[in-house]
Structure 1
Amino acid sequence: MLTRNSDILTLVDRLSEHYRLNVASQYLRPAFFRLDVSRQDWDHIETVAEKHVLYRQQGWHLDELYACLLSLARFIHKARRQIVPDARSVALGNLRENGPDKKIKAEMSAANFGSNLGLMASMVLELFQRCKDEEASLAPGVVPAWKKDPAMSQLSELLAP
C-alpha cells in the first residue's frame, strides 16, 4: 500500500536527519561495522538515512517502511548493547586529527550517543504508530501489513531501553 502522507514523510525526514547528524557521527560510525547487523538491515537503514528524498517524491510502500523501521530497531538495540558501554573509548580511538576541539567533539558525541539512540527509538515508535494509523484509514477491515510479519511484534521490545 503506497502512501504520500505528509506527516509520515516529515517523520521519515526527521528520523533521517537525526540519524545522519547525531547518531552516525564521524567519531562513532566506524564502530557500526562491529555490530552484528545483516546486509539487508544496513540496506534498509541506508534507505531511510540517504534515499528518503526519492521516497518523498514517489511515496512509501508501507510494508517496505515497516521493514526499514524493524531494521532501525535492530540497529538501536545492538548499538545500545555493543557501542554505548565504551562509546568514549571508541570515539577517542577514531580521532584522525589532534586538537582540543576534535577531542571535545568526540567526547560530546560519545556522551550523547545513548540519549541520541533513545530519541531515535522514540522517533521510530512514533513513525510506526503513524504508519499503522495510516494503513487502518486507507484499508479498513484488511489485515495490516505489519501484522503479517511476525518479526514486527519484536519492534517495541527491541526499542525498550
Structure 2
Amino acid sequence: MEPNTETHPTAAAHGGFYDVILLLSVTKWVHLHHGDDGITALFEKCHRLLRPGGVLVVEPQKWKCYGSAWGLMTTRMRDCYRSIRLKPKDFVKHLTNERKFRLMHTIETSKTREVAKVPKDFRRQIHVLRGGERQAGWDQIPPSTVFVSQTATVLTWGSAF
C-alpha cells in the first residue's frame, strides 16, 4: 500500500517514503488508546512508510509507567490497559520477528555520562532498527554511526552519550 501523498503533503515531498521515523515517548499513549492492535498497526505503518533500508528509532516507555498514568486514563483506556499482552519490553522482538526489522543498536540512556541530568522517567532504552531490504556494506558500518540515506544524511550518536 502506497502512502497517500494527497493527504500527506510531507510524504509527497519525499516520494511517499521516509528515511527515518522517530517514535519517542509516544508508544505508551498509542498502546493505551488503541491496545495491542493499535501498537502493532503503528509498527506496520512505520514499516510501510520507510524506504528500503530506512531507520526506525523507538523509545518505549517502561510497563510500570503505563500504570502510573492511571489517573489520566479514560474508561476505554483502562480497558485497553487491562487487555495489553504485548509489553514494551517485547517491542524489539515483535519488530524483528513479525515486521522483519533488524536491530542495529540499543542506546542505554541510564549509562550516559549525563545521566544525573536526565529525569528518572526518561532513562529509557532507545532502539535503532533498520527496515526493508539490507543494503550492501551495512554490517561494516560502526555502531556509533548510522547512514540514513544516499544523500549523506547521517544520524550519529556516541559522542553525546
TM-score, normalised relative to structure 1: 0.33
Give the number of the structure whose residues are more often strand, by fraction. 2
> TM-score, normalised on structure 2?
0.33
Q: Which has the higher contact order (CA 8 A, sep 6+)?
A: 1
Larger helix fraction of residues: 1
